[in-house]
Amino acid sequence: MDITVEAIEALRVPDGFTPVVGFRRFGIPWPPREPEHYLVQKGHRWMPQEPTVAECRRAGSSAHVRAHTAPYQGCGCGLHAWMDVEEALRYYELTTMRGWVLASVIGWGRVLFDEDFWRAEKALVVAFADPKDTHADKLEIVRERTARWLERAAENYDVPILPLQELMEYTLNYGEEYVEQHG
C-alpha cells in the first residue's frame, strides 16, 4: 500500500479522546454591560451551552507572522485552565473590580500541558463553585453580590452551582484528570 504525504495530511483523528478536566477563575465583567453574564478570557467569550474554540489573539501579529491553530507550542494562545482547584483559587491575576467566580471546565482537541495548567483548542464550562465556599473570607455583601451575578451566569450557561467539595466529582462525569506519565 502506497500512502502519499497528502493522504497523511488529510487524515483526521476522530473525537474519541476523553476531554481533560480543569478549573479557572473568570472575572465578573467591569464595567457592567449587557449582556454581562458571559465569561471572558483574553478576548475569548466562552460560549454558553456550546464549545468555545480558541483563536490566537497575539497582539501585533502581521502578515510576516505565520498564522497558527491555537494552542500553539511557540505561543501562549489557547483556552487555559488549571489542573487543580487549589491552583485556580490562588490565581489572583484574573479579577476585576466586581470580583470573580470559579468554574470547572473540560478541554479537548489539541491540548498542551504545562506543570500546573493546560491550554486547549476547544473547551466547555461544566459547573460553577458556590461563592459561599470560594469567597468564605470575603464580606457577606461581596458573597451575595457574587452569588447574584453567578446565578444569572449559571442560567445562561445552563450549568449547576455546586459546593466546592462536589465540584471535582461532578466534573469527572465529563472528562478525566490529567495524570503525568513518567516513563
Q: What is the pTM of this model?
A: 0.82
Residue 87's CB: how many other CB atoms inside 10 A?
A: 16
Cα→Cα distances 133→39, 92, 100, 155, Å:
20, 17, 13, 19
What is the Cα–Cα distance from 145 to 155, expressed in whole angstroms? 16
* Region of poorest pLDDT, from 24-33, 147-156, 171-180: 24-33
Q: Is the pLDDT of residue 63 over 50?
A: no
Q: Say which residue, 7 or 130, is predicted with more confidence.
A: 130
Q: What's the confidence (pLDDT) of residue 33?
A: 64
Q: What's the confidence (pLDDT) of residue 32?
A: 62
Burial 101-135 (b: 16+ CB within 10 A, else e): bbbbbbbbbbbbeeeebbbbbbbbbbbbbbbebbb
User: Taking residues 153-157, what's their average pLDDT?
Assistant: 95
Q: What's the confidence (pLDDT) of residue 6?
A: 54
Per-residue pLDDT reduced to its tens digit, 65-121: 557 888 988 888 899 999 999 999 887 655 556 788 999 999 999 999 998 999 999
Q: What's the confidence (pLDDT) of residue 133?
A: 94
What is the Cα–Cα distance from 146 to 99, expressed in whole angstroms? 7
Sign of CA dihedral 58, 60, 62, 64: negative
